[in-house]
């Protein structure tokens, strides 16, 4: 393992909303670390809309190794976990998810917890995704859309994390093409609003899941990884 990766800590990849690219960024970062000799693993606390949605499965396929990702719970309804569990008449315990997340993080040199939707998504037992990130005591990397409307969502996400004592490692604007004035100005504006570093990932073809690893590694800097 290269010395430049030896002080990376466990962290969470959270989104400003659903569908913003958390899974692609998670797969890219985990794959990048594993290719650099780091025993990294993605942890999905709960997958809803399964099947066909399988974020941990995508990460494992992108990395070419089933050990690269684990999913703690899978629910069929494509809803927030707490709502999906109620609809499916399944008992979903926040304490169990928290405990199993901690165990999964302890089993890897670097654990990467992928959020579900945005921070205020109901998870279980009256708790939300932001509660899990805070209780795990890990820093967070925020994934956001690149275009019009992202300023408000991104700033509120960073503010919410900080209010819960979660360090914000940075913001990744996903599918950044720079084709509009909003896209071109958003990185500097968000940096000014939040005081965190901003990086961008362009639209990726993802013909193969492994394309996520190459795409993320080619466009993000090593400084995107939270350090101890």
Angle between helices 129-136 and 150-163 (to 10 degrees): 50
CB 67, CB 78: distance < 8 Å: no
Number of compact structural domains in the chain: 1
Tell me whether residue 122 is annotated as binding: no
Domain containing residue 80: CATH number: 3.40.50.300
Contacts of 74 (CB under 8 A, 6+ apart): 46, 47, 48, 50, 54
CB 24, CB 206: distance < 8 Å: yes
Quick: pLDDT tens for 185-203.
Answer: 999 999 999 999 999 999 9
Predicted local distance difference test score (pLDDT) of residue 6: 85
Mean pLDDT of 146-151: 97
Tell me whether residue 21 is annotated as binding: yes
Higher pLDDT, 198 or 1: 198
**What residue numbers bound the domain in which 7 lies?**
3-224
Res. 5 pLDDT band, cuts 50 70 90: confident
In the block, which residue shows the tokens 């394309």? 211
Predicted local distance difference test score (pLDDT) of residue 227: 94
Predicted local distance difference test score (pLDDT) of residue 2: 57
Quick: pLDDT tens for 84-120.
Answer: 999 999 999 999 999 999 999 999 999 999 999 999 9
Of residues 8, 30, 32, 44, which has the active-site annotation?
A: 44
């Amino acid at each position: 393992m290269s010395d430049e990766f030896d002080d990376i800590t466990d962290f969470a990849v959270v989104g400003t909303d659903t569908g913003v690219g958390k899974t692609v960024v998670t797969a890219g970062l985990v794959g990048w670390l594993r290719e650099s000799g780091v025993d990294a693993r993605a942890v999905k606390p709960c997958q809803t809309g399964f099947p066909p949605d399988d974020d941990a499965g995508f990460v494992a396929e992108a990395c070419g190794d089933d050990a690269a990702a684990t999913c703690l719970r899978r629910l069929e309804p494509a809803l927030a976990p707490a709502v999906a569990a109620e609809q499916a008449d399944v008992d979903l315990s926040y304490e169990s998810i928290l405990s199993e997340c901690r165990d999964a993080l302890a089993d890897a040199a670097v654990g990467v917890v992928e959020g579900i939707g945005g921070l205020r998504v109901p998870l279980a037992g009256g708790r939300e995704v932001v509660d899990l990130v805070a209780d795990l005591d890990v820093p967070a990397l925020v994934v956001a859309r690149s275009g019009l409307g992202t300023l408000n969502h991104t700033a509120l996400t960073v503010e919410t994390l900080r209010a819960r004592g979660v360090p914000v490692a940075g913001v990744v604007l996903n599918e950044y093409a720079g084709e509009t004035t909003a896209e071109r100005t958003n990185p500097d504006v968000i940096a000014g609003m939040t005081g965190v570093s901003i990086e961008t990932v362009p639209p990726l073809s993802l013909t193969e899941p492994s394309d996520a690893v190459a795409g993320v590694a080619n466009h993000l800097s090593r400084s995107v990884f939270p350090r101890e």
